[in-house]
Structure 1
Amino acid sequence: MDNPVQAFRSGRLEQVAKALERNGFAATVVPDENAARELVLGSIIPELVAQGAKVAAFGGSVTVVHSGVYEAVKAHPDLEVLDTYDRTDPAHTLELRRQALLSDIFITGTNAVTEDGKLVNLDGTGNRVAALAYGPRNVIVLVGGNKVVADVDSGMRRIREYAAPVNAIRLDRKTPCTKTLHCEDCSSPDRICNSWLVTAKSAPKKRIRVVLIDAEAGF
């Protein structure tokens, strides 16, 4: 075999997809971020619009931006978009995040996905985990293969020791982890680690659609 590492990673993602489906999620494996965008814009969103979806919103996600899904959804002619990524007016952004909890389509990432098909997330203001748990009629989650972990404990460790410090650096937060490069369980006003959520099942079934990207994507 020419690329056994790729074959291993692809096979692992297919196993994760099956585990997610056993837990009530819809799950699809795609080869890269471009394919993820094509799936979301060419298949998933048209299906949801045909079912009556009118309003879309976002949870914070580097993958949603880097894949081009964010810009493409903003330009969609059949959707009203609550642009929660627009930070021009913080008070308005906060209000949009509240409104996003009643959107028809909520698009976000996840900090980790376990081999037995659970999503693990840690949030700053809580809007992303709140929407995953309840509110939006449909949730689309984009996740890179680099975020697959063995179990929930491994996912929480990955978030504390890698994803959270990297995101704090990205957001230019004044937290200890940006210097020490690991979680200090701080009390900084800039702390981004406030609300945990483990999504063990999708309820209702297939409300949450997970797009597994067979490549490194996001943190």
Structure 2
Amino acid sequence: MSTDDTFDEAFAAAADVSQLDRAAKSLQDNGFTVHVVDTAEQARDLVIELLPRDQAVFTALSETLRISGIAAAVEESGEFVSVRRQVGQLADDDVDGRLRLGATPDVVVGSVHAVTEDGRMVAASASGSQLGPYSAGARRAVWVVGAQKIVSDLDTALRRVRTYSLPLERRKWQAQGHDSFIGKS
């Protein structure tokens, strides 16, 4: 997937109700359980209710999880078995242990960059660390997806990644003296 510095602000707009309904129905038809809520606070409360307290929960790095308060609730409340906390307790040189914990949690909580109206989810990553648990490593995945991420089709989803998500991520990392890129999708 090629990338450029084009930024398409149109991808910040929320999908209309009919698009949201089509995407939700398609996801359900594809075997996913779908909950639709109106606010980030409602999403946080729902996810906190859905997560087990006695199983390892990995929170993927996600602005959606950060902004909604879900990441902080899982990582800082002490209510959950946090994979990130477990990784922090391992020796610095235990790379295999860190990889194993992150790759095979009981539950992964994260987001995706786009959901198509026909029920396909698109995620891209520089490191790919969340993609393994998303696709097969975790026994259960919980995705929190804002209405602005609903798009008509796969081509539009990929364009959203290249012209909206990646430029936003680049801005964040460049402010810290780094860069971002699509290494895996």
Given the two structures, how large is their TM-score scaled by the length of structure 2? Answer: 0.79
- Report the count of equivalent residues: 167
Tell me how far apart the structure 2 counterparts of residues 94 and 11 of structure 1 sit (CA, whole Å). Answer: 46
Taking the aligned partners of 2:93 and 2:65, their CA distance within structure 1 comes to: 23
Q: Give 1:36-75 correspondences, 5 Å limit.
A: 36-42=43-49, 44-45=50-51, 48-49=52-53, 53-75=54-76
Kept in 2: contact 1:21–1:27 (CA 8 A):
yes
What percentage of aligned pairs have identical amino acids?
26
Matched to 2:131, the amino acid is V
Q: Distance in 2 between matches of 1:83 and 1:91?
A: 16
Contact 1:98 1:127 in 2 (8 A): no
Q: Which residue of 1 aligns with 2:4?
A: none
- Structure 2 unaligned residues grouped into runs of 5+: 1-14
Alignment-derived partner of residue 118 in structure 2: 116
Secondary structure class of the residue paired with 1:29: coil
In the TM superposition, what whole-angstrom CA distance separates every residue of 1:154-195 from its partner, at most 9, and x where no partner exists? 1111111111111011122778xxxxxxxxxxxxxx442011
2-side partners of 1:15 and 1:90: how far apart? Answer: 46
1:19 aligns with 2:26: yes
In the other structure, the counterpart of 2:5 is: none
4+ runs deviating over 3 angstroms: 75-78, 89-98
Q: Is the 8 A contact 1:56 1:106 kept in 2?
A: yes
Aligned to 2:127: 125
Residue 80 of structure 1: how far off its partner (Å): 1.6
Q: Is the aligned partner of 1:195 residue 2:184?
A: yes
Cα gap change, 1:79 to 1:36, in 2 (>3 Å):
same
TM superposition shift of 1:101: 1.7
Do residues 30 (structure 1) and 34 (structure 2) align?
A: no
CA distance in 2, matches of 1:40, 1:69: 7
Indicate the residue corresponding to 1:182 in structure 2: none
> What are the ranges of 5 or more consecutive residues in structure 1 without an aligned counterpart?
1-7, 176-189, 197-219
Q: What is the identity, as a one-letter code, of the residue corresponding to 1:132?
A: Y
Q: 2-side partners of 1:26 and 1:33: how far apart?
A: 18
**Counterpart code for 2:107:** I
The structure whose residues are more often strand, as a share, is: 1
Matched, 1:160 2:162: yes
Amino acid at match of 1:13: L
Distance 1:32 1:97 in 2: 33
Query: Once the two structures are superposed, what CA deviation does each residue of 1:63-109 show, in whole Å capped at 9, x if it has no partner?
Result: 101101111112454522022898xx987799535412211111111
The AA in structure 2 aligned to 1:19 is S
Does the Cα contact within 8 Å between 1:56 and 1:100 map onto a contact in 2?
Answer: no
Tell me how far apart the structure 2 counterparts of residues 62 and 33 of structure 1 sit (CA, whole Å).
12
Structure-1 residue corresponding to 2:11? none
Shift of 1:110: 0.3
Q: Residues 136-151 of structure 1: matches in 2 within 5 Å?
A: 136-151=138-153
| Whole-angstrom CA distance in 1 between matches of 2:183 and 2:145 | 21
Does the CA-based 8 Å contact 2:173-2:180 persist in structure 1? no
User: Which range is displaced more, 104-113 or 92-101?
Assistant: 92-101
Q: Distance in 1 between matches of 2:24 and 2:92?
A: 37
Kindly provide the amino acid, as one letter, of the partner of residue 74 in structure 2. Answer: V
